[in-house]
Amino acid sequence: MFLYILGLVAFWFVFRWYRELARVPNKGQKYVYITGCDSGFGNLLARHLDKLGFRVIAACYTEKGEDELKKVSTERLNTVHLDVVSTDSVSKATAFIKTLVGEKGLWAVVNNAGVSVPSGPCDWMTVDDYKSMLDVNLIGVIGVTLSVLPLIKKARGRVVNVASVFGRISAFGGPYCVSKYGVEAFNDSLRMNMSFFGVKVLCLEPGFFKTSVTDLHLLRKNVKTLWDKLPEEIKDQYGHDYPERANVTLEKNVATLLDGDLMKVVSCMEHAISAVHPRTRYSPGWDAKFLWLPMSYLPTWIADKMLLKDMAKPTGSIL
């Protein structure tokens, strides 16, 4: 019986591998709109798709990002300035894309832009801290998607949303996990709605990768900035040495998990865009596959104990 089940599992993986080999034709006529192309995953994806022959529309937050990307790309790649928080900026980018793609429509949008700070214990945060991140990581994703959705429906194309494995399990406090849970919910509801129109909606849930948003200097600075704004009462509850202890824990946990191979994520993005039969979800990174996702299926009390074990504890903790 065991061998029979093992054989079925092996057959399923071989079948899925073979099925996923097929790629869409006429790449040179397909436009792909990518947000957050100044650095990291977005920058690598724009260059990778350009080499594969797609017509890339790379949205950058800075003029420097646009200039540097143009230097290493072919004439097929177009850049556009985009601030996902600004309705006016999103509208201008959409108008540019409409002119560019014409009646062909837009093959894919990749919602890659995002931020990771402020992050910290929930009682360190203000409502404005939550709003600032949700505006980028969630409202920005929704705004960009809705702005080009008619063009994607015309092409029967793809929406690719970059969420996070922390949209499946909250491993730390603050607005980041909240924003990524929101992306997951938007992705799932949009996938069902768009299935009637032949549009595929795919989600990426990466683990920890070495990018600007996981830079340890940025994360340490984030801890100091939040701590300096706290009232004395909360500082006393956590202990005045808490920032140092939090940074030690941060370096121990994050540095251990960081994966420097960004192409693991970019390859999943490319597959979501170019495969005839893409997956509904991708979980690039060993920590996403073998640590965080399995943990998300455990009973809450077990998962909580595992997560709390590796956290810096406040002086006033009762645990």
- Angle ∠(55,60,61) on CA atoms, nearest 5: 165
CA separation for the pair 111, 202 (Å, rounded): 11
Residues 6+ apart with CB under 8 A from 251: 216
In this structure, how many other beta carbons lie within 10 angstroms of the beta carbon of residue 60?
Answer: 26
Q: Which residue has the tokens 């191979």?
A: 261
E strand intervals along the chain: 31-34, 55-60, 78-81, 108-111, 158-162, 200-204, 281-282
The helix (run of H) or strand (run of E) holding residue 257 is: helix 242-257
Residues 6+ apart with CB under 8 A from 7: none
SS3 8: helix
- Angle ∠(240,243,245) on CA atoms, nearest 5: 100
The helix (run of H) or strand (run of E) holding residue 49 is: helix 40-52
Calculate the dihedral angle through the C-alpha atoms of 172, 173, 179, 180, rounding to the nearest 10 degrees.
Answer: 10
Query: Which residues are known to be catalytic?
Result: 176
Exposed, middle or buried, 7 (CB in 10 Å: 0-12/13-18/19+)? exposed
The helix (run of H) or strand (run of E) holding residue 233 is: helix 232-238
In this structure, how many other beta carbons lie within 10 angstroms of the beta carbon of residue 169?
Answer: 19
